[in-house]
Amino acid sequence: MPSPPDAAPTPDMGMPSDAGDNMQPPPAPEPSPTTTPSPAARPEATEENIAAGDTAIAAAEASIRQRDWSKMKSLAETAEKAAATDEQVARAETLYQIADLGTYYRSGVSRAMADLTAGNEFNVTDAISLLVVEASAEQLIARRGARNYTYTLDDLPFVVSKALAKFQLPMESETGQAAQAVYESIATKSTPEIRADSAGILRSLQNVEGAEPQRIADWIETRYTPSTSQ
């Protein structure tokens, strides 16, 4: 499973706003996959350990539903270590893959936002561009026409987050596509229609590093109910 590199590639953001062409992202290098450590010995499938595994899995699922980006990956790792049966192992692995792909995509978008400076202009679509007024890893203020738009990281329209992700992540790869689909399935601005589309995208993928997109799609379709708590 890929993890964002310590020194991630960044777009050439030095173009002034009055330059002729809108800024385009440079080709993003394929990230190196994270080396998967040898699994620890599985806990014996006693009644007590099975109950502990269920508790850890429930905590990881709750963090994903609540979009707790700072904890979901560590809680999924805890669930993997606590899993005591084959069924628990499969569930915990799927939760880890969801948390890993989702945070990978969100972190890439956040890094791209942090690299923007006032006066940069970037394409959102072929017909729409945004002029950066102010940006940080957590907030973007951008202008289109005579109007300024203010977005937090988690309130970005998906079309904008996708444009930013291209500066940092290999979005032409199946891993990049899976990361986008997972993020858009569990992010604040997701909808049932978006989740259905994302599950369909995941089912079409065959070569996602360190993940099983079919199992992720199953979880999104059958077990994911977003929490309204923040």
Q: pTM for the full model?
A: 0.82
Three-class DSSP category at 40: coil
Task: Return the pLDDT at 228.
Answer: 54
Task: Return the pLDDT at 33.
Answer: 39
Task: Return the pLDDT at 40.
Answer: 67
Name the one residue in this structure whose structure tokens are 């679509």: 125
How many whole angstroms separate alpha carbon 51 and alpha carbon 168?
A: 41
Task: Return the pLDDT at 41.
Answer: 82
How many whole angstroms separate alpha carbon 27 and alpha carbon 37?
A: 30
Can you list the residues of the chain whose pLDDT is less than 50?
A: 3-30, 32-33, 35-37, 229-230
How many whole angstroms separate alpha carbon 102 and alpha carbon 98?
A: 6
Strand order in the sheet with 139-144: 121-123, 129-135, 139-144, 147-152
Task: Return the pLDDT at 24.
Answer: 47
